Amino acid sequence: MSVKHNIRSATRKIKEFFGLFGPGITTGAADDDPSGIATYSQTGAQFGYGQLWTALYMLPFMTAVQEACARIGMVTGKGLTAVIKDHYNKKVLYASVGLVVIANTINIGADIGAMAAAAQLLIPVHFVVLTVSFTILILLLEIFMSYRGVYSKVLKWLALSLLAYPLTAFIIDQPWAEVLKASVVPHFEFSFSFLFIITGVFGTTITPYMFFWQASQEVEEEKEKGLIRDGKPRIRWAHIHAMRKDNNIGMIISEFTTWCIILVGGTVLHKSGVTDIGTAADAARALEPLVNSFPNSGLLSKMIFAIGIIGLGMLAVPVLSGSASYAVSEVFNWDASLGLKFKKAKGFYMVIILSTLIGLAMNFIGIDPVKALVYTAVLNGVAAVPLLFLIVRISTSEQIMGDFKSGWLSKGLLWATFIVMAAASIAMFAAF
C-alpha cells in the first residue's frame, strides 16, 4: 500500500506541476519565434559573446512585464485594449491598437517568409508557393481547429526542436570562464550596429504582441474555469500565485533558450568568421556541431533548423494575428475568442485573415526574409516603449487593480524596463 500510495502521490504532484502550464508557457514558447531565433543568432554571429549578458538581465524585466499583463487580464476580466478603452481617451486607445496591429502584421510577414526560406533548405519549391501554402495552412488550422485544445498542443511538441540549441551549446568545447563572465558582466559599444542589434534583442524578447496576447489568454482561461460571473472575475490571491508560477516557468525557459542561441552563434559562427547571417542556410550552420559525427551532417542541421523555424512560426503567427485581432475586436466590442466558431466571431476572424494576408503580401516587396526578422525585432523594440508606459500606469492603478495593484518590486521592475528600452531606442537613433 505504501508503494502504491507513493506512486499515486508522485503522479498527482506531476499532474499538478504540468497543470500550472498555461498562457505563460505558450507565451514563452512563442517569444522564441523565428524573429527571435534570427536576432539572437545574428547577435552571436556579429558580436560573439558581447551581448550574452542580455539574457540574464532581461529575465526579471520580461517576467515582470508579462506578470503585470496577465494580472491585468485576470483582475479586470478584460484584455489590455478593453482596459485602455475604459480608462483612457480615444487617442491613446487608437495609438496603442495601431502600434500592435502594425508591428504584428509586419512580424507575421517576416515569420511566414522565414518559414518558406527554411523549408527551401529541404525541398526545391518556389518561395512564393511556400509562403502561400503556409499562409493557407495556418489560416485553416486557426479558424477550423481548436487552438487551445489541439493546435497549440501539437505545435508545442514541434517547439521542442529548440532543444537543439542547448544541446549544441553543451556538447561543443566552450571557453566557460569567458562565457560566464560575458553572461554576467555587461558589455557596451556606442555604435549604431551594436545598439541596433541590442534594440532588436530587447524588442524580440519584450515584445508588444506578448502584452496583448497574455492578458487576453488569461481572460479566456478564467472563462473556461468559470471564474467570471455576471461579467466580473472572482479572483483570489491563490489564482494570482498560480499564474505567477506559470509565468515564471515560461519566462525562464524562454530566456535560457535565448542565452543558448546567442552562445551557439558566438561559438560556432562568430569564431568561424561568419559575422553576418544573410540566409537561412547561414543560420542553420550554427547547429552543425550537434550532428557533426553523423553522415550528411549539413543536411541534418538544416533539417533541425527548418523544423524549428516552421514549428515555431506556426505557433507564433496565430499568436501574432490573434493578439492583433483581440485588440481590434475590443475596440468595437466584437465577440473575440479562438474558442468560438467563425459564424459567432466573424469580425474577430476577419481581422486574423486580413493581418495574415497583408503579412503574406510583404514577402513580395523584395526584402530578404532572414534580414526582415531582425528589422522586425528592432521595430518591436521601439513600439514596445509607449505600450510599456501604459502597462505601468494600469498595473499600478488602485482604481483599476484594487488590492491586486503592483507592489514596490513589480512597480520598480516595470519602470526600469520602460527606461531601459526607451534609452536603447533613443541611443540607437542618436548613433545613426
Band (pLDDT 50/70/90 cuts) for residue 295 is confident
Rg (CA), the chain: 21
372-386 confidence digits (pLDDT tens): 888 899 999 999 999
pLDDT at position 24 is: 53
What would the mean pLDDT of 76-87 be, rounded to a whole number? 92
What would the mean pLDDT of 286-304 be, rounded to a whole number? 85
Band (pLDDT 50/70/90 cuts) for residue 15 is very low
Whether the pLDDT of residue 171 is over 70: the answer is yes
- CA atoms of 47 and 194, how far apart (whole Å): 8
Q: Is residue 402 part of a domain?
A: yes
Whether the pLDDT of residue 154 is over 80: the answer is no
Q: For residue 165, how far is the Cα from the chain centroid? A: 17
What would the mean pLDDT of 189-216 be, rounded to a whole number? 90
* 228 phi, psi to nearest 5 deg: -110, 115
Whether the pLDDT of residue 158 is over 90: the answer is no
Under 8 Å CB-to-CB from 287, ≥6 apart: which residues? 164, 165, 168, 264, 268, 301, 304, 305
Reference 24, options 170, 224, 179, 213; nearest CA is: 213
Q: Is residue 21 part of a domain?
A: no
- Cell numbers given for 352: 486574423
Under 8 Å CB-to-CB from 155, ≥6 apart: which residues? 311, 312, 314, 315
Q: Is residue 4 part of a domain?
A: no
53-80 confidence digits (pLDDT tens): 999 999 999 999 999 999 999 999 998 9
**What total of structural domains would you count in the chain?**
1
Which CATH number covers residue 350? 1.20.1740.10
Contact 30, 316 (CB under 8 A): yes
Contact 159, 34 (CB under 8 A): no
- CA atoms of 266 and 170, how far apart (whole Å): 13
pLDDT at position 56 is: 94
- Which position has the higher pLDDT, 331 or 338? 331
- CA atoms of 190 and 193, how far apart (whole Å): 9
Q: Is residue 319 part of a domain?
A: yes
Reported pTM: 0.87
- Cell numbers given for 355: 493581418
249-270 confidence digits (pLDDT tens): 888 988 998 999 999 999 999 9
Band (pLDDT 50/70/90 cuts) for residue 159 is low
Helical (H) or strand (E) element with 233: strand 232-233
Lowest mean pLDDT among 142-151, 377-386, 419-428: 142-151
- CA atoms of 148 and 166, how far apart (whole Å): 27
- Cell numbers given for 243: 499564474
Q: Is residue 421 part of a domain?
A: yes
What would the mean pLDDT of 344-357 be, rounded to a whole number? 93
With cell 559562427, the residue in question is 269
Q: Is residue 20 part of a domain?
A: no
Whether the pLDDT of residue 136 is over 80: the answer is yes
Q: Is residue 6 part of a domain?
A: no
Helical (H) or strand (E) element with 232: strand 232-233
Percent of the chain residues topping a pLDDT of 90: 51
pLDDT at position 18 is: 43
Q: Is residue 28 part of a domain?
A: no
Burial class (CB in 10 A: 0-12, 13-18, 19+), 6: exposed
Whether the pLDDT of residue 36 is over 70: the answer is yes
SS3 assignment, position 375: helix
* 233 phi, psi to nearest 5 deg: -70, 145
For residue 331, the enclosing domain spans: 36-431
Contact 43, 260 (CB under 8 A): no
pLDDT at position 52 is: 96
- Which position has the higher pLDDT, 84 or 148? 84
- CA atoms of 58 and 385, how far apart (whole Å): 15
Look over the chain and give the mean of its residue pLDDT values, rounded to a whole number.
Answer: 86
pLDDT at position 11 is: 46
